[in-house]
A and B are shown apart, each in its own frame.
Chain A
């Protein structure tokens, strides 16, 4: 016995008291059968899904969190990051679209000749609109304000009379 052991002789004698602590009488008689019963129960429960359908990938995925709780935090963090990234990208693309739109708007002055050419063609051949298919390039905002879905006149607007006097009789 070395010096360190001798220094703690009294303490070691005192610790011998722990060896005299015993569980209730007969405690170990039923211990192993309890363990085996619990194992049998576990085996029965774990074999249940194998009889029917195998557990889904989702249940296996969630079951993996039981043994590695850190994964839950990691997954939650990555989901939040994806969400933030998605929001940032969406904002960025909106800004780009707006920029493109303004560029298009700046380029618009070059297109009126086409629209005016179409309008002039319609004006020059008004009878064609009575039959067949009429194609218009006018934007919706150019619809006459007095039109109504149910065919009723809108009293708030008054038709401007711009037709030549001779054409009114037709």
Chain B
């Protein structure tokens, strides 16, 4: 059972990592334009991305 002592923190840490990533994405406006994001992946030029 002693493995629980580090398995639980590891599981929680991974979960928090996911939550943090989501909140960061939300804060940096990545959920503003979901349709646009799906299309932007088709930009196939190597030109610098639009500012």
A-B complex is real: no
Q: Which residues of A contact B (CB under 8 A)?
A: none
* Chain B residues within CB distance 8 Å of chain A: none
